[in-house]
Amino acid sequence: MASGTRIDFSAYDDEAKVFTVVQYIEILNTFLKREVVRITGEVSELKRAASGHVYFTIKDKDAPGVIDCIIWSRNYQLCGVALEVGMEVILSGHPNIYAPSGRLSFVADTVELVGEGALKKAYDDLRKKLEAEGLFAEERKRALPDYVSRIGVVTSMKGAVIHDFMNNLGRFGFRVRGIDSRVEGQQSVKPLLAAVRAMRAETREGGAAAEDAIEALVVIRGGGSLESLQGFNNETLVREIVDFPVPVIAGIGHDQDVPLMALAADYMTSTPTAAAHLLNRSWEAARMKLEQAARIHVRVGNELARVKADLALARGALIDHMTDGIARLRERLAHADQVVRLNDPARQLKLGYAIARKRGKVLRSAEALVHGDAVDVQLADGTVRTRVDRSPLL
C-alpha cells in the first residue's frame, strides 16, 4: 500500500463496524487492488497448475525477502515470458490476501525480463519461431490500396508522435479514426491488443459500413530501447496483426532489433512520419499526374495558339498571293483580249478585206478553184455568192 494511505472505514454503516474475518479481508483487498506497483526479484519457486495459472515465489538477490506470487493463465499467455527458476523479472500488479489461509501474495498482471541479454535471447527465440511459421514472409503481405482515405491509428494520443503523423499526412481528405493506447514497455501489451481488436470492428469484416470502414491500420510510436519496445515483441499481438482484415502499417522507430510486430506488418517504416508519407504516396503520384496534365494542357494551348497565329499569317500570305495572281491573270486576260481583238477577222473585214469560202471551207489558194465553182465571199456587212467563170490565172 502506498505510504501514508489510510483505509477509511467510516464509509461503512454503523452495524458493520465490527467485521468478520472474511469481510475485513475483502475490505483490505478492495484497497490493496488499487495499489498497483512494480517489483523486481528472482524467481525461486515455480508451479504451473492444470488451469494454466502460474504460482511462483520471487526473492531479493541481496537480502532475505520473499513474496508469493500468482499470474492468471490469460495474463501469463499474454505476457509472452516463459518463467523459469533463477530468472530475474519485473512484475506489475497488486497485493492480495487469500482469505482461506490469510496469506499475502502478489497478483501479477505482467511479467518482464530484466537485463538486455535476457530480453535479447527472448526476442531472438520468438523471432525464430514466428519466422519458421512464415509470419514475416513477404509473399504473405498485402498491398496497400491506392488512394486510401479512411485510416485507423493506434498510438499514444498524448505524445509528439501523433502530431508528427498528422502534420505529415497530406491534405487529401483523410478520415482518421484513432484509439489511444499505452505504447511503453511490457505493460503496453494489453492496451495495444485491446486497441487493435477494437479497430477490427471498424473494418468491413468487423461489421462497419462500407462507406465508414477503415482501409488501413497504422500502429506508431517513437524509437526506444529493446525494453521499452517489449509490448511490440509480443506473440499474441504479432498474430493479431497477421490476421488483421486490412493492410497494417507499422511506424515504430527502431535501431537494430526491429520489433516483431513491425516485421509482421504489411508495411514497415522506421518512423511515424515515414508511415504518413507512405499513405500519401498514391495521392502524391496522382497529384503529380494532374500537375503534369495541366502543364501539357498549357503547352498544347500555347501550341494551338502558335498554330492559329501561323495559320492566320499563312492565310494572309495566301490571300495576298492569290490577289497578286488574280491581278496578273487579269492583266494577261486583258492582253489576250487585246490580241484577240486585234486579230479578229471582223476587224479585218472592216478594213476592206474579204473571206472566201468554198463549201464552208476558207480558201487559202486560187489553185483550189476550178471553172464553175461556187464561192461565198464574206464582206464586212454581209456575204455574197459568186461563181468562177474561168480557171484562176496562174
Q: pLDDT tens digit string along 90-121?
A: 999 999 999 999 899 999 999 988 887 888 88
321: helix, strand or coil: helix
Residue matched to cell numbers 512494480: 38
DSSP 307-320: HHHHHHHHHHHHHH
Specify the pLDDT at position 80. 84
Alpha carbons 116 and 251: distance in angstroms, whole number: 23
CB half-sphere exposure, 161, CA atoms < 13 A? 28
Residue 13 has pLDDT above 70, yes or no: no
- Which of 201, 204, 151 shows the shortest CA–CA distance to 178? 151
Specify the pLDDT at position 87. 87
Confidence of residue 353 (pLDDT cuts 50, 70, 90): confident
* Alpha-carbon distances, residue 55 vs 80, 90, 274, 277 (angstroms): 16, 15, 44, 48
Do 170 and 280 contact (CB within 8 A), yes or no?
Answer: yes
Alpha carbons 71 and 110: distance in angstroms, whole number: 8
Beta bridge partners of 108: 93
Residue 235 has pLDDT above 60, yes or no: yes
233: helix, strand or coil: helix
pLDDT in tens, 79-93: 888 898 988 999 999
Give the amino acid at 226.
L
Specify the pLDDT at position 213. 95
Alpha carbons 72 and 52: distance in angstroms, whole number: 7
Q: Where in the chain is the domain with CATH 2.40.50.140?
A: 9-114
Specify the pLDDT at position 391. 63
Give the amino acid at 322.
M
Residue 257 has pLDDT above 70, yes or no: yes
Specify the pLDDT at position 1. 39
Specify the pLDDT at position 7. 53
pLDDT in tens, 183-194: 988 889 999 999
Q: What are phi and psi of 264, to 5 degrees?
A: -80, -20
**Percentage helix, strand, coil, to 5, in the chain?**
40, 25, 35
Alpha carbons 152 and 328: distance in angstroms, whole number: 83
Residue 183, judged by CB atoms within 10 A of its CB (0-12, 13-18, 19+), counts as buried
Q: How far is CA 196 from the centre of its chain?
A: 21
- Which of 220, 198, 200 shows the shortest CA–CA distance to 278? 220
Specify the pLDDT at position 6. 53
Q: How far is CA 7 from the centre of its chain?
A: 56
pTM of the predicted model over 0.75:
no
Specify the pLDDT at position 91. 92
Alpha carbons 374 and 365: distance in angstroms, whole number: 15
Beta pairing, strands 37-48 & 54-59: antiparallel
Burial 8-38 (b: 16+ CB within 10 A, else e): eeeeeeeeeeeeeeeeebebbbeebeeeeee
C-alpha cell recorded at residue 98: 487469500
- Contacts by residues 286-289 (CB-CB < 8 Å, ≥ 24 positions apart): 286/147
Residue 71 has pLDDT above 90, yes or no: yes
Confidence of residue 5 (pLDDT cuts 50, 70, 90): very low
Across the range 385-390, mean pLDDT stands at 80
Q: What is the CATH number of domain 147-283?
A: 3.40.50.280
Confidence of residue 8 (pLDDT cuts 50, 70, 90): low
Specify the pLDDT at position 218. 97
pLDDT in tens, 135-165: 999 999 999 999 999 999 999 998 889 999 9
pLDDT in tens, 193-227: 999 999 999 999 999 999 999 999 999 998 888 88
Least confident of 154-163, 339-348, 350-359: 339-348
DSSP 260-277: HHHHHSSEEESSHHHHHH
Specify the pLDDT at position 15. 59
Do 374 and 358 contact (CB within 8 A), yes or no?
Answer: yes
Specify the pLDDT at position 12. 56
Alpha carbons 314 and 318: distance in angstroms, whole number: 6
- Sign of torsion over alpha carbons 274, 280, 286, 287: negative
Percent above pLDDT 90 for the chain: 49
Specify the pLDDT at position 239. 95
Across the range 298-312, mean pLDDT stands at 89
Specify the pLDDT at position 3. 43
Residues 6 or more apart in contact with residue 368 via CB below 8 angstroms:
358
What is the C-alpha radius of gyration for the chain, rounded to an integer number of angstroms? Answer: 54
Q: Where in the chain is the domain with CATH 3.40.50.280?
A: 147-283
- Domain 9-114 class, CATH top level: mainly beta
Within 191-344, strands assigned E span: 216-221, 248-252, 267-269
pLDDT in tens, 15-68: 557 888 998 999 999 999 888 899 999 899 899 999 999 999 999 888 888 999
Alpha carbons 200 and 194: distance in angstroms, whole number: 10
What is the 3 state secondary structure string of 42-87? EEEEEEECCCCCEEEEEECCCCCCEEEEEECHHHHHHHCCCCCCCC
Query: What is residue 135's DSSP assignment?
Result: T
